[in-house]
Amino acid sequence: MTPTIRVLGRVRLSRTTEESTSVERQREVVEQWASMQDAQIVGWAIDDGVSGSVDPFHTPSLGPWLTDPEKIGQYDAVVAWKLDRLGRSAVLLNKLFGWANDNGKTLVSVSESIDLSTWSGRMLASVIAGLAEGELEAIRERQVSSRAKLRELGRWAGGTFPYGYVPVRVEDGAGWRLEVDPVGRSVIQSIVDDVIAGRGVPYAIKRLNDAGTLIPTEHKKSLRGGTPDASKRWFQQTVRQLIRSQALLGYSMKAGATVRDDNGDPVMIGEPLISLAEFERVQKMTEKKMTYDRREVPYALTGIVVCPGCRRPLRHSKTQTKRTMKSGEPKVYEFVYLIHPDEYKDRCEYGRSTPIPLDYAELFVEELFLDEVGDLSVVERVWMPGDSRDEEIRAAVAALDELQALIGTMASETAKQRLRSQIQAKDAELSALEASPRVEAHWKYEPVGGTYRDQWESSTSEGRRSLLLRSGITFALRVDTGGQRRTKSAPGATYGEILVPADLRERLGISQP
């Protein structure tokens, strides 16, 4: 009596094609074959949503049946509706064929009548495997071409969408477009406002974390109907990447570069989240990353006190001292000092000045500030954007810079010629814009009410720092102890100077030092 063939049914459905036969239909075909062969189905290896390019040995369901010794002994044949349900790569399929031969297994494709137990079946399988791989390559090429076309049309090509937008299906036609997400846009605008107002990225991070605002990845998860993790926190890298991306301007991006049309103009994926003037100001204000104060909330004098010699900001240094109290209990004392940046100590005449205790520096700065401007009316810099033509000129210049930088990276003459055409079109546009009269964007000081003393005395430490940053006022400070250690009895001589920007000094009517 011929022993019953033990069958492992193989079903795979890929999300990459709409022409796949359903899981139910594939199972039905395998069951019909088993019934006709008087075979017994002992198990199913069903991989739903797994691409044919994945190695069969690494697929979630079939993989264990090919690698687990206990499971390998439970079946004699792997039966699938078509050969491409086992895989679409000729290399990977031949690897599977070799494994089956070494382990005494048979692979069967029902629709193509392939049985690897015969030499003709093995030959036909090799031919079909090559065709399957070609079909997979065609699928990939169609996907790449479709995504490129969608980007050119300003449509969303799928994948990860920029924070501040949400995918919406296009009503008149196929595909999707990106619309502004009010929640994301509000968060972005609040960060931009913090940076422009001088409160800085660390302040924005603390505010967002204190408010329990979802980070971008978790917010997008909630938009897709998932359950977000509200415990994840905002960090500097997250915020800086967000506000330095041109996606905020509604530009279509590919691999970090702006997608442009034949005229060199950026392809728009949606309405800009912030204005070009705001974007440029944020880029300027976040060019240099603060490496000397990584706390969520900076010290009050971070970026405010500089060396009188090289004018570089002094950084904060924290030390701890452990002492034993009379009760025998240990107590830790923390001290914070302002010191010269280590990397510039040997390049500046004051590079090895005595460290300045932070609390002493804060009192000294307060006294200097109030003595100099305390009784004057507060004026703050307000950014006056130029007309729309001014923004268009800056956008055209940025486009030219980007296109010219790309030419050197292109190998093909066709790509270079297209870039040259885009550059010529953008250059002609820039010439026309420059020939027209325009109002340049500029800073302007405007009174905001009250005196500097009023604002200083009514503000918190963060508020005082913000006031100084918005005004552009800094302080040059050093302590000279003659090379000796600073003590209470020998505090040394303190040299300080308030540095008021020339335009603010003129606006306030302060004489030049």
**pLDDT tens-digit series, residues 180-200:** 899 999 999 999 988 887 777
Name the packing angle between helices 182-196 and 236-243 (round to 10°).
Answer: 100
The model carries a pTM of 0.44
261 φ, ψ (degrees, to nearest 5): -85, -170
Please identify, among 245, 263, 289, the residue that sits at the C-terminal boundary of a domain. 289
On whether both 163 and 252 belong to a single domain, the answer is yes
Domain interval for residue 58? 6-141
Question: Do 208 and 182 reside in the same domain of the chain?
Answer: yes
- Which residue would you say has higher pLDDT here, 50 or 419? 50
Pairs from 343-351 (Cβ < 8 Å, separation ≥ 24): 344/310, 344/312, 347/310, 348/307, 348/309, 348/310, 348/312, 349/309, 350/307, 350/308, 350/309, 350/310, 350/478, 351/307, 351/309, 351/310
Do 285 and 204 fall into the same domain?
yes
Among 75, 70, 72, which Cα is nearest to 30's? 75
Q: pLDDT class for 13, splitting at 50, 70, 90?
A: confident
CA–CA dist 156, 78 (Å, integer): 40
Residue 253 sits in the same domain as residue 217: yes
Does residue 123 lie within any of the structural domains? Answer: yes
Query: Using one digit for the tens of pLDDT, what is the confidence trace for 242-280?
Result: 998 888 888 776 666 676 666 666 777 778 888 887 888
Q: Do both 436 and 447 map to the same domain?
A: no
Q: Are residues 459 and 350 in the same domain?
A: yes
450 φ, ψ (degrees, to nearest 5): 80, 175
The answer to whether position 294 is within a domain reads no
Q: Write out the two tokens for 395.
A: 């956008």
Q: What is the pLDDT of residue 213?
A: 93
Integer Cα distance of 191 and 242 in angstroms: 10
Q: How far apart are CA 45 and CA 22, in angstroms?
A: 14
Domain assignment present for 313: yes
- Residue 411 sits at φ, ψ, to 5 deg, of -95, -35
pLDDT band at 389 (very low <50, low <70, confident <90, very high): low
214 belongs to a structural domain: yes
Residue range 26-39: average pLDDT?
Answer: 85
Quick one: average pLDDT of 476-504? 84
CATH code, domain carrying 177: 3.90.1750.20
Last residue of a domain, one of 440, 464, 481: 440
C-alpha span between 199 and 204 (Å, rounded)? 8
In a domain, 76, yes or no: yes
Domain boundary, last residue among 223, 257, 289: 289
pLDDT on residue 251? 79
More confident residue, 360 or 463: 360
Provide the number of structural domains found in the chain.
4
Residues 326 and 475 both lie in one domain: yes
